[in-house]
């Protein structure tokens, strides 16, 4: 293949963030050698680390670096040492601001259950047949970003969506569904909410006009929460607004039995993406070298596929991870005699060069 050169911003973040981030950096280095691409990794601050160094959770320098890059890899943000800070110095705000500043409206959260890990799921095996779903969550609008205010006796978080905001994330979800099983489920609360009624209209319009081959169904969010536990194998692509997507993706992630396994991507119109594990910064195990790096490594694979257009390298990395799972290479969250972060990372690298 021709010269492949990738510009990546590294955002280690807080607590176990830097530990899993270092695993990704090591694997990327190894993969570059094997696959023959080159890359720059420009490390920047976000979250509590940025609050400590610069007094704010998302310094302008971090945004500027992202604007010059193809993708960003993020560990995790947050920790108890910043809990009593004023709202504008909360690490999580760094995350919300970077999503908004870079227009990362499309959040992909795939939930796949690898056979070698199925026994970790809290669900009975017969419910887990064919679980392979993609949650597409709108990430830069809705009640997260609507007008907000509070006084002693009242508070308000406005949930507002425009047709355009719904259209662009719907198109992204439809394109993904067309490459999968061609089934799209819109999750909403159209029996109660006006925003949901608009979602239904706009999603139907887009599907009918541009993706007529897609099979579209509508599902209320309360029912969806239930069906994720009773028939998770029936879903292909699940499209939903910001808050519902936040809640349902945590629920869906537990199908796999560990928060440490699932990656995510947050992408904009130019295909720049922020890639991060769905787990948090796990302050309780930070600094011990035992964090599960797999969600971070799978996020790196998503970055290669979705922002860097290198499906081959993504496949190779995922194959390395799956081969480790098949050989029982696991951290302590899944196996009491499990390995350390560094040992798991080395095992993945060994499989890449084989
Ligand atoms: C997530 C997280 C964030 C969200 C928080 C940390 C702001 O829960 O990425 O799902 O609610 O979006
Ligand atoms: Mn969440």
Question: What one-character DSSP code corresponds to residue 338?
Answer: P
Query: For residues 292, 139, 13 and 350, what is the CA-based torsion angle, rounded to 10 degrees?
Result: 40
Residues in the chain: 354
46-50, 127-131, 212-216, 289-293: range with lowest mean pLDDT: 127-131
| Ligand nearest to C-alpha 90 | 1
Distance 246 CA to ligand 1 centre (A): 7
CA R_g for the chain: 20
**CA-wise closest residue to 100 among 206, 242, 307:** 242
What per-residue confidence (pLDDT) applies to 106? 98
CA angle 121, 128, 234 (to 5 degrees): 135
Q: What pLDDT shows up at residue 237?
A: 98
Ligand closest to the CA atom of residue 139: 1
**Measured distance CA(85)–CA(29) in Å, rounded:** 37
Residue 175: pLDDT above 80? Answer: yes
Is a pLDDT exceeding 60 seen at residue 1?
Answer: no
Helix pair 294-306, 341-353: axis angle to 10 deg: 40
The second-level CATH assignment, the architecture, of 122-253 is: 3-Layer(aba) Sandwich (3.40)
Model confidence at 354, in pLDDT bands (50, 70, 90)? confident
User: pLDDT tens across 38-66, in order?
Assistant: 999 999 999 999 999 999 999 999 999 99
pLDDT for residue 272: 98
* Cα–Cα distance measured from residue 10 to residue 76, given in angstroms and rounded to the nearest whole number: 11
Distance between CA atoms of 266 and 139, rounded to whole angstroms?
Answer: 8
| Mean per-residue pLDDT over the chain, rounded | 97
Write the DSSP assignment of 211-249 as a string of letters: -TTSEEEEEEHHHHHHHHHH-GGG-SEEEE-HHHHHHHH
Fold for domain 1-109+257-354?
Isopropylmalate Dehydrogenase (3.40.718)
* Helix 163-178 × helix 194-210 angle, to 10°: 50
Of the residues 29, 215, 222, 327, only one is catalytic, namely 222
Question: Known catalytic residue: 189?
Answer: yes
Determine contact, residues 172/137, Cβ cutoff 8 Å. no
Q: What is the pLDDT of residue 193?
A: 98
Does the pLDDT of residue 191 top 60, yes or no?
A: yes
The token pair that represents 305 in the structure block: 């596929």
Rounded CA gap, 51 and 253, in Å?
A: 29
Helix (H) or strand (E) holding 155: strand 155-157
Q: How far apart are CA 22 and CA 76, in angstroms?
A: 12
Give me the percent of the chain exceeding a pLDDT of 90: 97
CA of 110 from ligand 2 middle (Å) equals: 14
Q: Residues 52, 189, 205, 322: which is the catalytic one?
A: 189
Q: Count CB neighbours of 57 within 10 A.
A: 28
- Asked if residues 248 and 189 have their Cβ atoms less than 8 Å apart, the reply is no
**pLDDT tens figures, 10-40:** 999 999 999 999 999 999 999 999 999 999 9
Catalytic residue among 6, 21, 70, 144: 144
Mean pLDDT over residues 105-124, rounded? 94
Q: How far apart are alpha carbons 25 and 6 in whole angstroms?
A: 13
- pLDDT computed for residue 258 by the predictor: 85
For the chain, what is the largest distance between any 2 Cα atoms, rounded to a whole number of angstroms?
64
What does the pLDDT read at residue 156? Answer: 98
SS3 40: strand
- pLDDT number for residue 259: 84
Active site residue 147: no
Tell me if 136 sits within 8 A of 106, measured CB to CB.
yes
CA of 25 to the centre of ligand 1 (A): 23
- Tell which atom from ligand 1 comes closest to the C-alpha of 96: 7
The residue with tokens 């869906």 is 252
Q: Whose CA is nearest to atom 8 of ligand 1?
A: 246
> What phi, psi does 304 have (nearest 5°)?
-60, -40
CA angle, corner 250, sides to 245 and 256, nearest 5?
130
The 10 Å CB-count burial string (b at 16+, else e) for 187-223 is bbbbeeeebbebbeebbeebbeeebeebebeebebee
The CA distance from 57 to 69, in Å, is 20
pLDDT reading at 239 higher than 90: yes
Domain boundaries, the chain: 1-109+257-354, 122-253
pTM of the model: 0.96
Q: CB within 6 Å of ligand 1 — which residues?
A: 92, 95-96, 246
> What's the mean pLDDT in 130-144?
97
């Amino acid at each position: 293949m021709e010269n492949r050169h990738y510009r990546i911003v590294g955002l280690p973040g807080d607590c176990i963030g830097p530990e899993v981030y270092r695993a990704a950096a090591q694997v990327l280095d190894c993969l570059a050698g094997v696959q023959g691409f080159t890359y720059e990794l420009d490390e920047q601050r976000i979250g509590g680390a940025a609050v400590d160094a610069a007094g704010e959770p998302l310094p302008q320098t971090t945004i500027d670096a992202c604007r010059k890059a193809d993708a960003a890899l993020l560990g995790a943000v947050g920790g108890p040492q910043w809990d009593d800070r004023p709202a504008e110095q909360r690490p999580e705000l760094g995350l919300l601001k970077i999503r908004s500043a870079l227009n990362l409206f499309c959040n992909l959260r795939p939930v796949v259950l690898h056979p070698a890990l199925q026994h970790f799921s809290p669900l009975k095996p017969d419910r887990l047949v064919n679980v392979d779903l993609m949650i597409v969550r709108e990430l830069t609008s809705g009640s997260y970003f609507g007008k907000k205010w509070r006084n002693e006796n009242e508070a308000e978080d406005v949930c507002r969506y425009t047709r355009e905001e719904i259209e662009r994330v719907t198109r992204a979800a439809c394109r993904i569904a067309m490459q999968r099983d061609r089934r799209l489920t819109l999750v909403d609360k159209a029996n109660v909410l006006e925003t949901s009624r608009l979602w239904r209209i706009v999603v139907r319009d887009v599907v009918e006009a541009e993706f007529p081959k897609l099979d579209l169904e509508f599902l209320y969010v309360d029912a969806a929460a239930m069906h994720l536990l009773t028939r998770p194998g029936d879903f292909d692509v699940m499209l939903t607004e910001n808050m519902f997507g936040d809640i349902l993706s945590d629920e869906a992630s537990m199908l796999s039995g560990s928060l440490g396994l699932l990656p995510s991507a947050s992408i904009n119109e130019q295909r720049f993406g922020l890639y991060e594990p769905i787990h948090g910064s796990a302050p309780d195990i930070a600094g011990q070298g035992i964090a599960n790096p797999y969600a971070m490594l799978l996020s790196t694979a998503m970055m290669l596929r979705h922002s860097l257009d290198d499906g081959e390298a993504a496949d190779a990395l995922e194959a390395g991870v799956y081969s480790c799972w098949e050989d029982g290479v696991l951290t302590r969250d899944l196996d009491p005699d499990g390995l350390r972060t560094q040992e798991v990372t080395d095992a993945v690298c060994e499989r890449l060069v084989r």
